[in-house]
Structure 1
């Protein structure tokens, strides 16, 4: 309901005019001569008539819609590329014949196929003396708790800037070149471990970013690695 007080000159109020025009959208079709007489002041200070302003608004909306469509297409393209790279990584992990091969394939593909991943590592927590491998990285659970225990406490993926000692444990000699990192706990059979990835860019891995991809990769490792591990430590 129009709450504006009646005007003393007897003319309709602005709200009444606006309501009338909304209720009669074809008004200007029957009164085209009025369009040429109406003047609007643009943000630039230029005076234009209503028809010109409408055309300008439609042009601006068209440009905005094109921009949105372009972004949607870019996102779709990136998603397609991510899917293909993820598929190739998963197939490579499934086809691995040994635990060492799985670890090498995982780290190599993460670094070579995914943007802004400069370093990757897979670390298992077990007795190194009971694992007959010089390639697969295995550390004792006690050492893992001492070095990165705070990162493993929640048993969830973590992203962000890590402490120097944590980076040194996860990435060794590359620690000084790392700006941000992400890690995801894994559980291969009876052995716990962690997948860690890192970027030279301090802004790439943030605490606010999603971790679905890393969780997905960890789940594949959880399924594949126990089948390749041999020994009483499983």
Structure 2
């Protein structure tokens, strides 16, 4: 005697369901070749009405199409933002290459980041035992004591910093207004320093935020600053 379908154990039914799903995926034209089975199938519908597999398939395709268009729209927005960011970075780099003095370099960086990039908090700090009269210089020992952990990796970091780190980078008065920041190190041929930017929004510079453009600007600064600093006399 053949067992009735109702007598099949639940576990066996689940295993059979997996096999059926796998088989139908491997044979997408199955119901086209056996359309008589569609009459026996029960396919739920929100309205309680019957619905064909074609309608069900069309609904799934429409849902996936909407999701894909949404993802594509997000990618297009990111691409447009990157294009604008690249254009601003390109103009900044060209201005840095045209600078002939350290004063010009400092002014170009700060003005561009504040005006073009709309960054409210900007800090360019150079490290050296012989302090120059232009820009902000601190000793290497002072920098290590204040932000040593940020300098250890030599990579650009972003996120929320500690109070004493914010005070060193942006000053005691402004540190309370900085919700998040990104810090890029300057290292090239004996030059050491940091370029830091900050936002009032704690979520603006997340730890996972891309720092490619800031790192690129810092790399260019690392090569421009030594060139324009050679003629400066240290202040003792």
TM range (shorter): 0.7 to 0.9
Displacement after TM superposition at 1:221 (Å):
0.4
1:74 maps onto 2:73 in alignment: no
Matches within 5 A, 1:1-234: 8=3, 15=19, 19=23, 22-23=26-27, 25=29, 27-28=31-32, 31=35, 38-42=41-45, 44=46, 46-50=48-52, 51-114=54-117, 117-127=119-129, 130-133=131-134, 136-172=135-171, 173-187=173-187, 189-229=189-229, 230-231=231-232
Q: Contact 2:31 / 2:37 at 8 angstroms: preserved in 1?
A: no
In 1: Cα distance, 2:25 partner to 2:141 partner: 77
In 1: Cα distance, 2:145 partner to 2:25 partner: 73
What secondary structure does 1:41 align onto? coil
Displacement after TM superposition at 1:84 (Å):
1.0
Which ranges in structure 2 are unaligned for 5 or more consecutive residues? 6-15
Q: Contact 2:31 / 2:38 at 8 angstroms: preserved in 1?
A: no
In 2: Cα distance, 1:24 partner to 1:185 partner: 57
Q: Which has the higher contact order (CA 8 A, sep 6+)?
A: 2
The size of the alignment, in residue pairs, is 220
Displacement after TM superposition at 1:35 (Å):
5.3
Displacement after TM superposition at 1:200 (Å):
0.6
TM-score, with structure 1 as normaliser? 0.79
What secondary structure does 1:156 align onto? coil
The alpha-carbon distance between structure 1 residues 76 and 208, as it changes in their structure 2 partners (threshold 3 A), is closer
TM-score, with structure 2 as normaliser? 0.78
What secondary structure does 1:40 align onto? coil
Displacement after TM superposition at 1:27 (Å):
4.5
Runs of 4+ in 1 over 3 A off after TM superposition: 6-10, 13-24, 33-39
The alpha-carbon distance between structure 1 residues 34 and 213, as it changes in their structure 2 partners (threshold 3 A), is same
CA deviation string 1:154-204 (max 9, x = no partner): 322222211222211111132121011121221354331111111111112
